[in-house]
Amino acid sequence: MTVHERDVVIVGGGPAGLAAAHRLAAAGLSVTVVDEQAELGGQYFRRPAPEVARVWGDHRPEGGRLVGAVRAAGVECRTGHLVWGVGDDGRTLLVCDPAERPVRLRGRYLIIATGAHERPFPFPGWQLPGVTTPGFAQHLAAADHTPIGERVVLAGSGPFLLPVACSLLDLGVTVAGIAEAGRPYRPSTRALGTVRHPARLRELAGYAARLARARVPLWQNTVVVRADGGDRITSVTLAAATAPTRPVRTVQVDALCVGYGFRPQTDLARMLGCAVRTDPATGDATPELDDSGRSSRDDVYVIGEAAGIGGAPVAEVRGLAAALDILGREGHEPRAGEVRGLAAAGRRLAHFKRLTDALYPAPAELARLLPSALPDAATLCRCEAVSAGEVRGIARTAGRDVNAAKAWTRAGMGPCQGRECGFAVTAVTRVSPADGLPAGVFPSRLPVRPVPVATLLEMAGEGEPA
**Residue 353 identity (one-letter amino acid):** K
Domain ranges of the chain: 3-117+263-358, 120-260, 363-430
Give the max Cα distance, the chain. Answer: 65
At residue 1, the pLDDT reads: 66
From the list 322, 272, 288, the residue with the least C-alpha distance to 88 is 272
The CATH architecture one would assign to domain 363-430 is: Orthogonal Bundle (1.10)
Q: State the average pLDDT over residues 261-290.
A: 91
Confidence of residue 58 (pLDDT cuts 50, 70, 90): confident
Q: What percent of the chain has pLDDT over 70?
A: 94
The pLDDT tens digits of the residues spanning 293-348 come to: 999 999 999 999 999 999 999 999 999 999 999 999 999 888 888 888 898 888 88
For residues 18 and 79, the answer to whether their CB atoms sit within 8 Å is no
Average pLDDT of every residue of the chain = 90
Distance between CA 429 and CA 234 in Å, rounded? Answer: 31
* SS3 state at 243: strand
Range 373-411 burial, b when 16+ CB lie within 10 A, else e: bbeeebbbbbbbebbbebbbebbeebebebeebbebbeb
Confidence of residue 463 (pLDDT cuts 50, 70, 90): low
Task: Give alpha helix (H) positions in 360-387.
Answer: 363-369
Q: Per CATH, which fold does 120-260 belong to? A: FAD/NAD(P)-binding domain (3.50.50)
Query: 3-117+263-358, superfamily in CATH?
Result: FAD/NAD(P)-binding domain (3.50.50.60)
Model pTM score: 0.92
Question: What strand order describes the sheet that includes 233-240?
Answer: 222-229, 233-240, 243-252
**CATH fold match for the domains 3-117+263-358 and 363-430:** no
